[in-house]
Chains A and B, each alone.
Chain A
Amino acid sequence: MSEPMVRFDNVTKRYGALTVLDNLNLEIERNEKVSIIGPSGSGKTTVLRMLMTLERINDGVIWVDGEPLTHEQKNGAMVPAGDRQLRRVRGKIGMVFQHFNLFPHMTALQNCMEAPVSVLGLSKAEAEQRAAELLDMVGLGEKKSHYPIQLSGGQKQRVAIARALAMRPKVMLFDEVTSALDPELVGEVLNVIRKLGAEHDLTMLMVTHQMGFAKEFSDRICFFYDGKIAEQGPPEKLFNNPDNERTRQFLSAVLEAG
């Protein structure tokens, strides 16, 4: 059996006395599309933030592509990862945020060129070509020289997706990427994600409230409750015939509202 792309190994995250994630064990296979759902405060976004190294973990180890992300081997022992290790392994992961976090002082093209040039060492011409292709792919070839302030929410989010892809990640994280959008703009972003899933070899992990999309797109759904995975499985099973009472309650509440 091949090594999973991402592995959470007994990972615990606490904020002071509050345990946000409690001994999480989660494996994500190569190219697998996994959606994380659950009530707010259940720790779902924290999973992505830990994987992106935006949060330090308190206990356990996270592995990415067969390498420890949070730790490194030194003299046979696992010690917290140094900056070099962190940056190397982190390079395999890309993330798209709820609030886009585009660089407002750069054009769409520049947003997609900055990291490839300064981190990967691509030439300007090469980076520009790659950025232009990606912007074309997300349907924004015409908006290359627009600044974020001149773009709609959906367009901003598509630029953010192109920007993350420009780093050629193996794993893409989507953190409630449509939650800050007007309803009529949600579709264009989801279409881009669909296309990505179909055309690229990408492991995708998303936290979402779009149950319809999660059901159609994901290979597996993880339902988080109270810092734990309360239930996980293929979408048909989880949505149509959940085992867990919590899952059932959550789904009926969400689907009723939607």
Chain B
Amino acid sequence: MNIWDWYYVREALPFLYKGAIITVEATLIGFAIALVLGLVFALIRQSDNRVVSHAMAETVEFIRSTPLLLQIFFVYFVGPQFGIVIPAWIAGIGVLGIHYAAYCSEVYRAGIQAVDGGQWEASIALNLSRARTWRVIILPQAIPPVVPGLGNYFIGMFKDTPILAAIAILEMLQQAKNFGAENYRYIEAITLAGIFYLFFSLVASAIVQTVSLWLNRRYHLE
């Protein structure tokens, strides 16, 4: 028996392909949720209302301090006991998105706090509304510098997607494992999955760098 058998590579590819689609979809949708919701969290955190701001800070702290897997289990397994039944796919991606939104909100917050206070003062002196100040003055300066930080979580989330297997979502690693179990042959499938993760991570990191450069140029922040 060979250590490496191309026959199993060919056999495993269709399964891995199916799994890869799920993995990429979960990453893209989950991260889209994390980006948007993370910004919402960060903005709520900046509220003048102390109660609101503190409540948001505590929520973020709570999400960051409990395991992702536990949160997924809670929504998927505990929810139904209270009549809240959410399909695995939605529960999985939703929790992934919310979990990473908490991390992203801290990255946004760092960016927001790094914007010079004089920008707020100039905006008040020019009578800009608060919403306009956020949208046109503060965020365009706050976000481009923190894109690399957000990008780290993008790749981190991608590598966390195998957790979805715990609620029976057939993402790529689970497909690879199942293929191995059925054929008593793991090396090809698991290795291929590893290569794919590596490849995707490298591509994602290149994309993040490009976006970061482009945004910083676009807003003349370098």
Contact = CB atoms under 8 A, between A and B. Distances in A.
Given A105-B140, A105-B219, A149-B220, A115 B121 contact: no
Contacts of A97: 118, 121-122, 125
A93 B136 CA distance: 22
A64 to B, nearest CB: 13
A17 interface: no
Contacts of B119: 101, 103
B124 A101 contact: no
A54 B119 CA distance: 12
B141 A95 contact: no
Contact of B136 (A95, A118, A149, A167): A118
Contacts of B116: 101
Interface residues on A, range: 20 to 34
Contacts of B129: 87, 118-119
Interface string B101-134: 0000000000000001011011011111100100
B121 A118 contact: no
A167 B125 CA distance: 10
A87 B127 contact: yes
Nearest to A99: B118
Nearest to B116: A101
Contact of B126 (A53, A100, A119): A119
B221 interface: yes
Given A103-B137, A118-B132, A167 B126 contact: yes
B122 A114 contact: no
Contacts of A103: 119, 122, 137
Contacts of A99: 118
B122 A105 contact: no
A54 B121 contact: yes
Nearest to A116: B126
Nearest to A115: B126
Given A97-B125, A99-B118, A147-B220, 16 more contacts: A52-B124, A52-B125, A53-B124, A54-B121, A87-B129, A90-B127, A91-B127, A97-B118, A101-B116, A103-B137, A104-B219, A105-B141, A118-B128, A118-B129, A118-B136, A119-B127
Interface of A: 52-54, 87, 90-91, 93-95, 97, 99-105, 114-115, 118-119, 147, 149, 163-164, 167
Interface of B: 116, 118-119, 121-122, 124-129, 132, 136-137, 140-141, 219-221
